[in-house]
Amino acid sequence: MKHIYTHDNIVVLHSVKNILALNDIESYVKNEQTVPVGAQHGIGNTFHELWILNDHDYIAATELIAREVENPSPKAAWVCGECSEENDGSFDVCWKCQSAPVETQATQGA
C-alpha cells in the first residue's frame, strides 16, 4: 500500500478515488474519520490521504492524477441535437433540455 494523494477537502479526495476506481485502481481513504477531532488538534493538522492498495499501480495512478485532476484537458463545447443550445464541454447533458450529446447517444446504443 502506497500513499498517492493528500487533500484537505474530503469531497475532492473522493473524486480522485472515483477517478482511480474508473480506471481499475483500488484505493483507500485514510484519516476520513478525523474531522470530528480536527478542532482538538487544529484543523490545519488534519489531512485526508488516499492510498493505493497495489504498489504496482503507483505509476499509473500518479500519471492519471496528473492528467485528470491536476491538469485536465479542456473539452470542446457542443451543440445539442435536440434543442440546438450550445453547451460547455464540461456538460454531459444539455443544460436546457437534458438531452445527451449525439455521439454519447450513439455510443450508448452500440
Are 16 and 63 members of one domain?
yes
Over residues 45-103, the pLDDT tens digits come to: 567 899 999 999 999 999 999 988 887 778 889 999 999 999 998 888 999 999 988 76
Q: Where are the alpha helices (DSSP H) in 1-110?
A: 10-22, 38-41, 58-65, 102-109
Domain span at 6: 2-70
Q: What are phi and psi of 14, to 5 degrees?
A: -70, -30
CATH number, residue 41: 3.30.70
Q: Does the pLDDT at position 105 exceed 50? A: no
Q: Which residues pair with 28 in a beta bridge?
A: 51
Over residues 9-35, the pLDDT tens digits come to: 888 899 999 999 999 999 999 887 765
pLDDT of residue 44: 54
Are 11 and 52 members of one domain?
yes
Cα 5 to Cα 14: distance, rounded to the nearest angstrom: 11
Are 32 and 57 members of one domain?
yes
Are 58 and 82 members of one domain?
no
- How many domains would you assign to the chain? 2
- 108 confidence band (pLDDT: 50, 70, 90): very low
